[in-house]
């Protein structure tokens, strides 16, 4: 038995409620994630931030590490950049799902928000790679000679997230062409 996919399927109340729920979850995460990351960055000891950046120190190296307030503040600021990019992406996703919940599926605005989501997630990963590297440099800047660190890490999670963002970007591009084609066809009728 085949399931027919029609416009009425997309406007069913349960589908609209699900889109509305996704919009609310995206809005909640767009606010909660930056707050949680800020709290975590401020309360994590310097050694923990370095370990998170890919730098492991011995107990002796950690004891010799002299981090000033400006270094710590800069590390927190750098750590906030990726989550702020992700938050932007989540706000775009929220607007996209809000449009879906109002039966606005193929519009220039929906495509723009979907692309904004993809761009925010892509930027989050890229800035995360550079922020992690810069945090390792900033926090070890005052270390004795030979104890400074430069760390860079690219793992499968980052690669898969970049692939996901690229796929969403391309889906939005195809949707954009569909919207343009629909508008062009509507002019002939």
Residue 88 included in any domain: yes
Q: Which residues contact 49 (CB under 8 A, 6 or more apart)?
A: 41, 75, 79, 135, 139
pLDDT at 34: 97
pLDDT digit string, tens, across residues 86-144: 999 999 999 999 998 888 888 889 999 999 999 999 999 999 999 988 988 888 877 66
d(CA 84, CA 123): 10
User: Where does the pLDDT of residue 1 fall: very low under 50, low under 70, confident under 90, or very high at 90 and above?
Assistant: very low
Phi, psi of 170 (to 5 degrees): -70, -40
Residue 2 included in any domain: no
Q: Is residue 37's pLDDT more than 80?
A: yes
Q: Is residue 48's pLDDT more than 90?
A: no
Residue 183 is part of which domain span? 10-188
Residue 172 included in any domain: yes
Residues shown for the chain = 189
Query: Would you call 56 helix, strand, or coil by DSSP?
Result: coil
Residue 1 included in any domain: no
Residue 106 included in any domain: yes
Q: Is residue 58's pLDDT more than 90?
A: no
Q: Which residues contact 33 (CB under 8 A, 6 or more apart)?
A: 83, 86, 87, 90
- Total structural domains within the chain: 1
The model carries a pTM of 0.82
Residue 101 included in any domain: yes
Residue 4 included in any domain: no
Contact between 95 and 104 (Cβ < 8 Å): no
Residue 62 included in any domain: yes
Contact between 125 and 118 (Cβ < 8 Å): no
């Amino acid at each position: 038995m085949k399931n027919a996919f029609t416009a009425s399927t997309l406007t069913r109340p349960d589908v609209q409620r699900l889109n509305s729920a996704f919009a609310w979850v995206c809005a909640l995460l767009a606010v909660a994630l930056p707050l949680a990351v800020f709290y975590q960055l401020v309360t994590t000891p310097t050694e923990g931030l370095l370990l998170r950046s890919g730098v492991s120190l011995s107990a002796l190296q950690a004891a010799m590490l002299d981090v000033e307030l400006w270094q710590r503040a800069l590390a927190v600021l750098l750590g906030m950049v990726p989550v702020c990019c992700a938050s932007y992406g989540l706000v775009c996703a929220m607007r996209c799902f809000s449009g879906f919940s109002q039966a606005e599926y193929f519009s220039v605005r929906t495509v723009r928000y979907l692309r904004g989501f993809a761009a925010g997630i892509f930027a989050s990963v890229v800035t995360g790679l550079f922020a992690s590297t810069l945090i390792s440099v900033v926090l070890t800047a005052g270390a004795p000679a030979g104890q400074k660190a430069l760390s860079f890490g690219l793992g499968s999670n980052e690669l898969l997230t970049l692939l996901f963002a690229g796929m969403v970007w391309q889906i939005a591009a195809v949707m954009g062409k569909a919207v343009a084609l629909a508008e062009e066809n509507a002019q002939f009728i």
